């Protein structure tokens, strides 16, 4: 990244991690100049340098050799076979033939088009929007619901608060926290690394500034979690290192103190909550004989009982915000800490007051805590999908492995569809999914896999038909997000690499062969669509500049809505503003959830012993709890080859952080190459000894590109993809969310010959 003024030839652009103007020479990015409006530009911008002409770009359409030879069918070597370069005309015809075959023989219920992924910023060339629109014109597809980010809460919170994602988008704003919050208890921290990123872009990164200002003003910030780095040391005043997976026990014990010492707000429970009796019985041990006292919790979570009691006293005596990160729910029984956090906030009686109550996702993503615009952003219409079948997003491997099998989801009994063709555009399942050996086996059962990608990611390598996509700097687009203060004219800065085409052009060509072009394009070119989408947005407010003025100016400012307080209206008048729960109130226990009879998600917050934690039998073999969380040096797996991401590697691999005592016990030093393993797989990693972690806990980020070492079982990844180690189970039968945040592992020094990272070079072509 370069500071200072951009060159005169460059135009504005934006990314999920910030707005910038690129310096481009000979078709590639040589420098990135952050937006002058950004007080804290993200170093992730540095990954863009050299990314347009990188050797991992896909130069032309490719078809897997075996698919070309044998046609569609299960492929035990998919992901290991060479590719054959073909021309656009040929690939379009072959793809159209295959789509025709599948739609006519098996119907749209046999096409999986969920195609989860962040792809790039830009409202029109939004890869998921494009693929969904395209498949809808063919008759529809099996979709996915919920996200890998917050899928567990997205299903739980409607039962508790009457809304899921909407609630997460209207958290109390940072300026309100700054003014009113006296104590902020950050369960899972407020990790700075995640705040650089927001879907659609953040022109001004302000969150870290807000945290620093809160600390300077005297707000007490307490980190509850096993990794000291999850709340910047400069701002946090206290660290309570709970054991991973035990947050629900810790939170219930705080509730226990409030109840047994009469420090809770009985009136708030009576006027704003439902189901208090059942949950109080549980807290006091009247229903199961075990009071959820600090002493009970201390045994489980490792935090001293007196420290828990003292924290409860402080919370009850001042304006307190309880924040809960998304990582808490990206785990087995992930509903419980979130529900327990809401219960704790309800007992304190500060929900809906400025600076009090709870927040979910501060620090999990850059735009949480910033008020969202109320107008609709320019959005490509996706058409109508007549297929009702949808899977919870993180159940993809189950679906492919067990067609026709039944599963539970949010009170319903469902059946997995039988998939003949997977279409992926703008995501990397071999990054975002868990237990990658299992996903690989599942993926190889599908007769045809189609992927659009700019780069030879693991997802592209595991496809049959690969269409080379442009990257965002190679096309014009409009950048906007629900909280960004600017709409950005994303000017193309370079010609498409080799034969790469944008997703819209690729889909239009296939649609032309299939006779659906008119429905797909509506007769518009990409440039026409930009103007059309912008004009639709402008129609909301006549004061907005016309398209040409916007395009020439590069950005138009979008005023932020005023700061808000979560559930303020409901607090003020619960009868006039009831929640969309059966009672109209906050459901501290839910008769609906209880009626499902799920042992892994009972009707009120409960601590449930995870299968993988320090206390489980399995810890005898794999004694370290691995935190598998989002990376600081890139967005997910994007541009892992970029400069900034590469600089973060240790011994050329993804770093693994380990406490000094655990390192000494294993004879490890910083810089050593190690194997991180369990019985699902293993990966190589570079050691970083770090006292900022609790003993017994190690941390590795997601996003290193899967690079299987040939002929090694179970799967060994040479690059350090942490999802070879995580468990592929739903968080519970209620939400079936992603449970990839933690796993039990062991670490040992790597003594053999050092395997090459195949993912760092393109696959073989013939």
CB of 610 to ligand PGD, least distance (A): 15
Q: Kindly tell me which of 378 and 426 has the beta carbon lying closer to ligand PGD.
A: 426
Q: Residue 112 CB, nearest distance to ligand PGD (Å)?
A: 15
Quick one: 555 or 638, whose CB is closer to ligand PGD? 638
Nearer to ligand PGD, 108 or 496 (CB): 496
- For residue 725, the minimal CB distance to ligand PGD (Å) is 8
392 touches 146 (CB < 8 A) = yes
CB of 113 to ligand PGD, least distance (A): 13
Which C-beta is closer to ligand PGD: that of 625 or that of 722? 722
Instruction: Report H helices in 139-193.
Output: 151-161, 165-169, 174-180
Q: Cβ 667 to ligand PGD, closest distance in Å?
A: 28
Whole-Å CA distances, 70 to 74, 92, 536, 596: 10, 18, 47, 47
Q: Which helix (H) or strand (E) holds 218?
A: none
* CA 15-763-628 angle, 5° bins: 55
> If residue 203 lies in a helix (H) or strand (E), which one and from where to where?
none
Three-state DSSP at 312 gives helix
Cα 298 to Cα 294: distance, rounded to the nearest angstrom:
6
Q: Catalytic site residue 339?
A: no
Residue whose CB is less far from ligand PGD, 438 or 571: 438
What are 276-283's contacts with CB under 8 Å, separation 24+?
Answer: 276/588, 276/589, 278/588, 278/589, 278/603, 278/604, 279/343, 279/588, 279/589, 279/604, 279/605, 282/604, 282/606, 283/252, 283/255, 283/256, 283/259
CB atoms within 10 A of CB 608: 18
Which residues are paired to 472 by β-bridges? none
Residue with Cβ nearer ligand PGD (205 or 742) = 742
Say how far apart CA 347 and CA 359 lie, in whole Å. Answer: 15
Instruction: Give the active site residue among 116, 264, 424, 607.
Output: 116
Identity of the residue, 336 or 723, whose beta carbon is nearer to ligand PGD in the bound complex = 723
Task: At 167, list the tokens.
Answer: 């609630």
Spatial separation of the C-alpha atoms in residues 555 and 535, rounded to whole Å = 15
| DSSP secondary structure of 554-566 | SEEE-PPPPP--T
Q: Say whether 116 is catalytic.
A: yes
Are 238 and 222 in contact by the 8 Å Cβ rule? The answer is yes
Given the residues 17, 118, 339, 409, the one annotated as active site: 118
Report whether 516 contacts 137 (CB < 8 A). Answer: yes
CB-based contacts of 230, cutoff 8 Å, min separation 6: 186, 188, 189, 190, 191, 223, 325, 363
Give the number of other CB atoms < 10 A from CB of residue 300. Answer: 21
Which residues on neighbouring strands pair with residue 628, listed in sequence order?
A: 700
For 663, the 3-state DSSP assignment is: helix
Least distance from C-beta 120 to ligand PGD, angstroms? Answer: 4
177 vs 635, beta carbon nearer ligand PGD: 635
Which spans of this chain sit near ligand PGD (rule: CB under 6 A)? 116-120, 125, 127, 148-149, 330, 425-428, 431-432, 434, 452-455, 457, 469, 471, 503, 628-630, 635-638, 702, 722-723, 726, 740-741
CB of residue 133 to ligand PGD, shortest distance in Å: 14
C-alpha distance from residue 542 to each of 88, 520, 538, 539, 547 (Å)? 43, 29, 6, 6, 12
| Shortest distance (Å) from residue 126 CB to ligand PGD | 8
Q: 497 by DSSP, 3-state: which? A: coil
Q: Smallest distance from the beta carbon of 732 to ligand PGD, in angstroms?
A: 17
In the bound state with ligand PGD, the residue whose beta carbon lies nearer, of 33 and 433, is 433
Sign of CA pseudo-dihedral 244, 394, 171, 45: positive
CB environment 145-172: b (16+ within 10 A), e (fewer)? ebbbbbbbbbbbbbbbbbbbeebbbbbb
- The distance of closest approach from Cβ of residue 37 to ligand PGD in the complex, given in angstroms and rounded to an integer, is 24
Task: Please give, one letter per residue, the 3-state secondary structure of 506-531.
Answer: HHHHHHHHHCCHHHHHCCCCHHHHHH
How many CA atoms lie within 13 Å of 661's alpha carbon, on the beta-carbon side? Answer: 7
Looking at the Cβ atoms of 352 and 427, the one nearer to ligand PGD is: 427
Q: How far is the CB of 150 from ligand PGD (least distance, A)?
A: 8
CB nearer to ligand PGD: pick between 43 and 660: 43
Residues 732 and 741: beta-carbon distance below 8 Å: no
Q: Which residues contact 313 (CB under 8 A, 6 or more apart)?
A: 257, 263
Instruction: Map residue 700 onto helix, strand or coil.
Output: strand
Nearest to ligand PGD of 132, 431 (CB atom): 431
To the nearest whole angstrom, how small is the minimum distance from the Cβ of residue 84 to ligand PGD?
Answer: 20
Enclosing H/E stretch for 280: helix 276-284
What residues are annotated to the active site? 116, 118
């Amino acid at each position: 990244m370069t500071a200072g003024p951009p060159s005169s030839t460059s135009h504005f652009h934006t990314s999920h991690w910030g707005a910038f103007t690129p310096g481009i020479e000979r078709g590639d990015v040589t420098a990135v100049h952050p937006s002058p409006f950004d007080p804290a530009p993200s170093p992730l911008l540095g990954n863009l340098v050299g990314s347009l002409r990188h050797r991992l770009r896909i130069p032309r359409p490719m078809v897997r050799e075996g698919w070309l030879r044998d046609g569609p069918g299960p492929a035990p070597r998919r992901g290991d076979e060479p590719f054959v370069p073909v021309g656009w005309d040929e690939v379009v015809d072959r793809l159209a033939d295959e789509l025709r075959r599948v739609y006519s023989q098996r119907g749209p219920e046999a096409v999986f088009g969920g195609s989860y992924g962040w792809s790039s910023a830009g409202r029109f060339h939004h890869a998921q929007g494009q693929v969904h629109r395209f498949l809808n014109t063919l008759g529809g597809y099996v979709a996915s619901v919920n996200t890998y980010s917050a899928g567990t809460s997205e299903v739980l919170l409607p039962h508790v608060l009457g809304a899921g994602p909407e609630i997460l988008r209207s958290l109390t704003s940072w300026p309100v926290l700054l003014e009113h919050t006296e104590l902020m208890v950050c369960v899972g921290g407020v990790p700075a690394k995640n705040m650089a990123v927001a879907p659609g872009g953040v022109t001004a990164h302000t969150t870290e500034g807000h945290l620093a200002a809160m600390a300077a003003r005297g707000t007490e910030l307490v980190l509850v979690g096993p990794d000291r780095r999850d709340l910047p040391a400069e701002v946090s005043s206290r660290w309570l290192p709970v054991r991973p997976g035990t947050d629900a026990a810790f939170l219930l014990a705080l509730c226990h103190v409030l109840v047994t010492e009469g420090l809770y707000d009985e009136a708030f429970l009576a006027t704003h909550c439902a189901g208090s009796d059942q949950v109080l019985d549980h807290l006091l041990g009247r229903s199961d004989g075990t009071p959820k006292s600090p002493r009970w919790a201390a045994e489980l979570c490792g935090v001293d009982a007196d420290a828990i009691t003292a924290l409860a006293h402080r919370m009850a005596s001042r304006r307190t915000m309880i924040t809960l990160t998304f990582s808490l729910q990206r785990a087995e029984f992930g509903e419980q800490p979130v529900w327990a956090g809401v219960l704790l906030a309800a007992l304190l009686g500060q929900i809906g007051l400025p600076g009090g109550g709870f927040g979910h996702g501060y620090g999990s993503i850059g735009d949480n805590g910033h008020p969202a615009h109320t107008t609709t952003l320019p959005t490509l219409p996706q058409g109508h999908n007549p297929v009702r079948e949808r899977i919870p997003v993180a159940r993809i491997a189950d679906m492919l492995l067990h067609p026709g099998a039944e599963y539970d989801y949010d009170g319903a009994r469902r059946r997995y569809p039988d998939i003949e063709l997977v279409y992926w555009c703008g995501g990397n399942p071999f990054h975002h999914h868990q237990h990658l050996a299992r996903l690989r086996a599942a993926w190889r059962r599908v007769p045809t896999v189609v992927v659009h990608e700019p780069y030879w990611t693991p997802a592209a390598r595991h496809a049959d038909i690969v269409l080379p996509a442009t990257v965002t700097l190679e096309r014009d687009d409009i950048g906007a997000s629900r909280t960004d203060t600017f709409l950005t004219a994303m000017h193309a800065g370079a010609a498409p690499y080799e034969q790469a085409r944008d997703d819209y052009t690729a889909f239009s060509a296939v649609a032309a062969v299939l006779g659906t072009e008119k429905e797909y394009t509506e007769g518009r070119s990409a440039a026409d669509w930009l103007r059309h989408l912008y004009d639709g947005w402008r129609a909301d407010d006549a004061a907005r500049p016309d398209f040409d003025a916007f395009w020439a100016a590069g950005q138009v400012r979008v005023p932020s809505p005023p700061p808000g307080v979560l559930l303020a209206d409901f607090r003020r008048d619960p009868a006039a503003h009831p929640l969309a729960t059966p009672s109209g109130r906050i459901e501290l226990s839910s008769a609906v959830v209880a009626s499902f009879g799920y042992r892994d998600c009972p009707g009120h917050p409960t601590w449930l012993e995870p299968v993988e934690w320090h206390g489980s039998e399995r810890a005898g073999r794999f004694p370290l709890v691995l935190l598998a969380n989002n990376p600081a040096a890139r967005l997910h797996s994007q541009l892992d080859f970029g400069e900034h991401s590469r600089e973060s590697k240790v011994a050329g691999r993804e770093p693994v952080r380990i406490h000094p005592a655990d390192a000494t016990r294993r004879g490890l030093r910083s810089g050593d190459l190690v194997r991180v393993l369990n019985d699902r797989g293993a990966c190589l990693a570079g050691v970083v000894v770090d006292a900022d972690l609790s003993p017994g806990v190690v941390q590795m980020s997601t996003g290193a590109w899967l690079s299987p070492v040939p002929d090694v079982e179970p799967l060994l990844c040479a690059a350090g993809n942490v999802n070879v180690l995580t468990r592929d189970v739903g968080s519970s039968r209620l939400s079936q969310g992603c449970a990839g945040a933690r796993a039990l592992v062991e670490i040992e020094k790597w003594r053999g010959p050092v395997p090459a990272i195949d993912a760092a070079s393109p696959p073989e072509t013939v």
